[in-house]
Chains A and B, each alone.
Chain A
Amino acid sequence: MTQRALVLLALPIAVLSLEGCSTLSLRAILTRTEQDKYTITVRDTTQQIEYRNAPGQRGIIYPSDRTITATRRVEQYDSTTERHYPNFIRFGVFETVGLLATAPSDRGVGGGIFGIYLDPNEAFSSEIRPKSALFTGSLYRFGVLEMPLYWFDDAPTWSVGTSLGEIFQLEANNSRAVVGVFPLYIRKRFYLREEIPYVAVTAAAGFGFLPSQYLNLAGSLDVGSIGGLNIRTYAGLLIARSIEQQSLVQPYLGLGTSVLDFLNHPRELRRQWDDHEHSSWNIGALRLTPFLLLSGAPANSQQPSIGFQLQVAPTTIALPIADNRVCAGVDLFNVVFAFRQQQAFRDAVGFGYGVLPLRVGYWLPFGESRLALESFAMVSYFPHSMWQLGATLHVGALEWLPVGVSVGYISSAGFTVNRGTIRDVVDATILGFDVAYLGVSIGIAEELFRPSQLRYNRAVR
């Protein structure tokens, strides 16, 4: 089902890619640009005075011949100031929800509390075996976009939105899976807290057309966003025809989270991007850290001992402690490939990955530059234990592409996979490892924020 869903998701991605070549680029979708035009006029008069004294010695007052040339000049300069505002209520890259009571407890997906803690044998795979679980189902949304809906004479906090796709995996069996591409959603938010992080009760009605036809009526209690992170509790009713054409009426409860998911209060649509409040020291789509092992490489591992760490959606939130330098963070996934060891029958790799690993650290900015030193401890608890101590010197040399130097220590207990995508990709026996490393980090679509950009440090206009 996952493969099929991915193929279906390829359609909207392709459509958006084509549209990206036109005016509907992502920037144009997310940003509204206003122009102020000015004309500055400067008037200048130059007077040139020329004296032509009569020749010869004259002992009496004598009228001099004087020529005055006055040159008047008007210069006009046109200038245009552009201001950029957010154009959306919500823009989210990925949302995952663990659903309760969507199937008998022995036929569950087993995605856990947020629906994303999947068995490593089944992660990123198309085959999910039924298992006994409290959270029997999962809901995934990709590329969520909500824009203000001005109806009922602009009754506040209504929005209309869609997403690249959403998947309701109600149970391990695909017969009741519901998949929507570009579903249409209308939402109304009732804000309980109008400060960041926002707390809102949201009522939503969603319509899916292809490949499943469905109506999704849902209410949710939303907390966020802060640093693009959100927590949501759901209660809803799904009336659908599944991808295998099975009719179903399914009430559900859920608990979810989302990353790179940004919510704007309607009043924030009138605030320039430059004036927006930020809660994080950094947010990014990907961070890749190729590293050289300083210790911990097995004797018969491939030389030089080079590994890498890949963090998906790394976020580091500033806490209002110690001048906001104490920080906490989370990644969507954290993948570490430490080494590859050649063995007689089957190679072994030092490999680990974590789902929503947690980080705490200390972020030391250097003035107002985009240069900061982050020291951190990371704990990964699923699907296996892994921890990391490290320090990274971040340099925001290029916009959306910061680089850094990272040094640290990673310890992984290792885990076993017998089947599935991870096993196919790794194609080796997975070993635990304890390695020290020195690496270079590259943030992809990552933004580093200055101290003055943090909401704790700025007065809101």
Chain B
Amino acid sequence: MAVALFFLTLATPIAVWQLGTSDPYRFWLNEDTTVPLRVWYWGERTAVEKEHPQRIRICGTPRVVLADPSHTQFRMAMVLSGGGALDGIRIRMRTTEHDVLANGRNGITLTLDRTGTRIMDGTTLLAQTDTLRYEPSQSLRIAFEHEGMETRIAIGCSVFGPFRTGHPATSQTIIEPLGSGGGCVRISDIVAEGVSP
């Protein structure tokens, strides 16, 4: 009994530490691969659910950050499939969550909604089309690549860019569902690989 109490006493600070730092708002995707992706978000705890090592489900409009901790120049691909309550999705690249919130640096922004697709560099429109739209229940593959000063974006079979930009390459990709908050989007087959060491 005394031994058990002794170990309970010693285990308490460790348990407190483990519980206190096991932030459910942070988790990993592709953790068994050579390019694991760190995910974090703010908002409702249940807004983001990890369904699979390569798949998450986002409900509502939280800001979800995917980060490749070991690369800033990488290519990433994912498949989006959202519900009817969602108006679209916005992906911010070449910026960080802190830069967006604190400094208003939006980087390169890809907005895909029911009216079309817009790619912006800050306030400068880089590309726009109304033939590629967000359509509920339609899976859409999005890929992008950051190398040096250039970013290429592929949506379905359409390729945009390369866009030359002055924004530094960062390890983060920020995903923001658009809408009034009632919709969900599933992002699957999320993969990344570095293009430069």
Contact = CB atoms under 8 A, between A and B. Distances in A.
Interface of A: 12, 15-16, 24, 29, 32, 34-41, 43, 74, 76, 78-79, 81, 83, 87-88, 145-150, 153-154, 159-162, 181-184, 209-210, 213, 270, 461
Interface stretch (B6-14, B28-36, B53-61): B6-14
Given A150-B23, A150-B45, A154-B24, A74 B148 contact: yes
Contact of A162 (B13, B46, B98): B13
Given A36-B171, A37-B170, A39-B73, A87 B20 contact: yes
Given A146-B20, A148-B20, A162-B13, 4 more contacts: A36-B171, A41-B169, A79-B168, A145-B13
A15 B69 CA distance: 33
B69 A37 contact: yes
A36 B6 contact: no
B20 to A, nearest CB: 2
B11 to A, nearest CB: 9
A147 B6 contact: no
B117 interface: no
**Which of A147, A159, A213 has the most CB atoms of chain B within a 10 A radius of its CB?**
A147
A381 B194 CA distance: 68
B12 A209 contact: yes
Nearest to B96: A36
B12 A40 contact: no
B3 to A, nearest CB: 11
B45 A153 contact: yes
Contacts of B6: 209-210
19 contacts: A34-B98, A36-B96, A36-B171, A36-B172, A38-B169, A40-B168, A40-B169, A83-B98, A87-B20, A87-B21, A149-B20, A150-B23, A153-B46, A154-B25, A162-B12, A162-B13, A182-B13, A210-B6, A210-B8
B72 A147 contact: no
B9 A24 contact: no
A183 B149 contact: no
A75 to B, nearest CB: 10
Contact of B42 (A41, A210, A270): A270
A209 B19 contact: no
B171 A147 contact: no
Given A37-B72, A210-B5, A210-B6, A43 B148 contact: yes
A78 B197 CA distance: 11
B157 interface: no
Contact of B72 (A32, A38, A83): A38
Contacts of A29: 17
A184 B15 contact: yes
Nearest to B102: A461
A36 B19 contact: no
Given A36-B96, A39-B169, A147 B12 contact: no
A460 to B, nearest CB: 13
Given A15-B13, A78-B72, A36 B20 contact: no
A197 B21 CA distance: 26
A184 B16 contact: yes
Contacts of B180: none
Interface size grouping (class) on chain B: 35 or more
Given A37-B170, A39-B73, A154-B45, A147 B9 contact: no
Given A29-B17, A209-B8, A150 B72 contact: no
Contacts of A461: 102
B22 interface: yes
Contacts of B21: 32, 87, 147
Given A36-B170, A78-B72, A154-B45, A41 B149 contact: yes
Contacts of B5: 209-210, 213
Contact of B98 (A36, A41, A150, A182): A36
A256 to B, nearest CB: 22
A135 to B, nearest CB: 29
Nearest to A29: B17
A257 B149 CA distance: 57
Contacts of B46: 153
A25 to B, nearest CB: 12
A15 B96 CA distance: 39
B100 to A, nearest CB: 11
Nearest to A24: B17
A88 B20 contact: yes
Contacts of B9: 181-182, 209-210
A37 B169 CA distance: 8
Nearest to B6: A210
A160 B13 contact: no
A161 B73 CA distance: 41
Contacts of A35: 69
A182 B171 contact: no
B99 to A, nearest CB: 8
A407 B22 CA distance: 50
A29 B46 CA distance: 27
A12 B12 CA distance: 11
Contacts of B15: 160, 184
A41 B8 CA distance: 53
A40 B13 CA distance: 42
Residue of A15, A36, A150, A213 ringed by the most chain B CB atoms within 10 A: A36
Contact of B16 (A37, A154, A162, A181): A162
Contact of A12 (B13, B22, B73): B13
Interface string B129-167: 000000000000000000011000000000000000000
Which 3 A-B residue pairings sit nearest by Cβ, starting from the closest? A147-B20, A154-B45, A39-B72
B150 to A, nearest CB: 9
A74 B12 CA distance: 53
Interface string B33-69: 0000000001001100000000000000000000001
A147 B12 CA distance: 13
